[in-house]
Structure 1
């Protein structure tokens, strides 16, 4: 079952309009579906397209024409033009869209392998562009292609991934399209054999009780309930957005359900209702499929009205030719020859069989074995054509032709299935390797960025402290020679402070490197949080005193955490140092903790200079721009916060930040509670 993609037209009805309406169709060329033959339409379209001198406008025009067409041959040609033109313009977004359109056209034409090639290429291009809407639209199209190729597990997987994304986006049209395809896939899972195109034995000769099996057997009931749910959701969403193309497609699936469950009168009623929707909306793409279903419903095996079946089959063939959809034309002739045979019109039945074979050759043109079989059938039928004049042999020849068609079609299906399985396996392997390469490339880019930042810190931030040490060492040497003992003490203190800064930076760099290379040992133990915070505040109290900052803690004495002591000390030293660094003299810094159900929430709060939302959002990124100095001119590398994030995540916690300019900053992080011992 093909999915409708044309848009609604309401100004004219092409099946009933006269010359005046035809004139309107010519004038409103861009607004109406084209119903000329492929060659005539393409000639006129080329003339129309190349009136545009600008390549960019020409490309936009091609996409407009693609939106207004449902002739498969025209869509194939237009999408190829769009691919070439967008490629020459280096417009990768448009090329990805053109590839997707081309893939869906190939799928409609029956070349599922070519369709999957184009759609996977479109998917990869959307991924490289970071276009998630495009990625998941391509996945939906891939799901439809896998369904058409009868790979139902892969079809459902692709459709489900697309559904999950568009449920979050709340895109009603895309959701309707996905539910429609999920309904089509589940319908085929229920009623068709996995191998070949044969109907499952449960439905080959259905009686009046067939539909009851869905209610008696839990497995069948689950299938039916899921199918009806997909149909309901697709219809509800499509109607809400007035997408009658999707309503038509979904209703065809619903009506076919009644056919296969032997509810023929209800099936006829629903197919007639679909024709009314098609006539009202002017969406004729699926009209041949509706006529085909009605023709099949009136065959002797069903309603046993072969004359009516013949009329519907002829209508299906006529509409298929108008739309240049070979698959529907083939299906129409296949029913027509059965209807003729049922009425004893064997000459007409034979001619219909030849049309079936002619269409079958088109579908298997790239399969040498099938072509040879088709030629063999044609040769045998030609030898028997003279005998066909004899009334006595007419029925026999029809049966032979029917048998050969079934045999040829079965052989074609078997070869196609084998070919598709091999190609699907290759596609799955290719997709897996492409995903692996993409993930490796992302990891390499991240590692390169971290490496560049790492060496930048070493080159820039260590140079300052060491330059200070070297400079003051020379001054100290001079002071010693001059026995200027008052200055010696000051200089020694400055050397000590610079060495301490360099040592702190080197320690952070070493810890960060060990954590990134997975060589940092983690030894969790039960720790009294109040005591550990007091120790760290004591170490930094002199810095707070020099800047006249009130440094306090508010943590209950009985709060215990289960984590690594050295890592936690490093986190508190960095966070408290940062708060002191960016707080003005006379400010305040406090450390607080709140015990929750499964963890402890810790806050390091200051009323310092804060930061804007843009800087706060990238504060934990290694590749962000650093170098912001503290309120006392203190240097900053930005590595401390990144190291805190690494350590907190290693300890099983999370870290986040809130900040406002000139109002201060609060750093939050969580840690697991004391380990429970059940012994």
Structure 2
């Protein structure tokens, strides 16, 4: 049953090949290119011609493939030979010589493997699957198709993938596994639609319609026939349109819809009759006769059948001729002409017997071919095994020869090395004696230098103690001077405040204001000096507490509100109310005081200062961003040095002693954090303070 189904499928493929006809324009173009092409391109053109002739003239396919093979061999381009062998195998396959085709596809596969030609390996394996399918060896066909599919996917050839899916569809149809056949055909259609292969889309759409018809899903079958027809009409494929109309007519006949069947059969005949394709025309006439017979129009049906018999008697299309005699016999019976009915039935039985005999002969031929192919496979396996065995022997002998040569070389090297080492050892011993005498002299000199170094170390230790005492005296003196200086500044500031409540002129008030500002700047400088001195004292330990950053930022902005308002600045806060940090609050406040004060001091009216914080990558980041003048590249190299004057100047006449950023850097280091400056001159600045997340206090359920 399965073999019979396969024969029918193969016959259908042959009929389709005839129906689609030959692309004469393409053939003429290829011949013209071949006449003008350089030698390096001729091989590819020969192969394209071979492919175009495969269905109508397989002998021409074999001829052009041989031309390509001869050219490749002559030019020493063996790495390209697999493709030509595949094309030649296709020629023998269409000619019906499956044994020869099998030999060529096997050779193509072996050449592709030898030259790492993955694409041609995929094609040759797929072609071998087709040979096994035609011989009825479905298991081997299945294995080869899936190997081809995997190889096409690996090289990224989506058209090859579609080709493998279509081969699998035909295999599943031969096994009457229509659901899997449908799945493979739909995958083929999807790929061919993606790459824009119109001819390929028409072919697979018709195949899908056929599968749905076999599944008795006539509506879906009709849908796919219509899609195929629209595609064929878009490229003016008259023969294709006729074939599709014939299929639709047969579909309607199966459903007993005779009027529709007649309509589409008429359309098919109008195209087929002018095409010169007698096989297609006879199929359409037979379908018209069947539809007319079902509709009761016996005379018209008989006329069409008579034409079919007359034509097929010449072309020897036995299946069509046999069906025509069968329906002529039925018509004569219904018309009451029993003698004519009997004669037609006799012709029908003779043709049927001839077809059965031909089918039996084909089965025998196919079985013999399968045995021959299996024999070839065994011979190839034995040949490969012998080659592998011989190669192993050659490799073993080669290894033994190499090992022997290596042993001889090693012995020679050892002998030469022994002689060389002996002579060198004598020279080395002499040099060592000289070197030992030099080392002894150097040792004496080193001992003398060590004694001098010890004396110098003692002197340095005494000097270091003196420097430490001087440094302590300096710190003590700085503290005394700073404290003593604060009192006069504070008294002068108080007197200036008293002047403000007396009747002063506007000019006098200006001078008093300047006096107060000088006092405040002096006190600020003294406080910074004291702070720098205090922070360098490592005896003070951090006093860590849990700090709500929203509260801290709010207090900072409130403290600088008057200064910001006086300069027309907008100070903003951007922080979550539930963000906490666990650190020394006085140090963190001093850092923010200095950075926020600088941001306000160096910004012009109408600008914005933003104080923000966020948790990021196991750290708390605090940002102070302004729209001031920014820092130059030179500024960045001196940023945290004491008493350094940078390029930017305060915009409101404020003073700058060059200690603020030095204090910030010192405190950040003490707290185990990091300070980063993001700035471009003329475009503002952003200081980023990074504290490790381990400093962040966990938020309890009640902390809001």
- Relative to the length of structure 2, the TM-score reads 0.47
Structure number with larger C-alpha Rg? 2
- Which of structures 1 and 2 has the larger relative contact order (alpha carbons within 8 angstroms, sep 6+)? 1
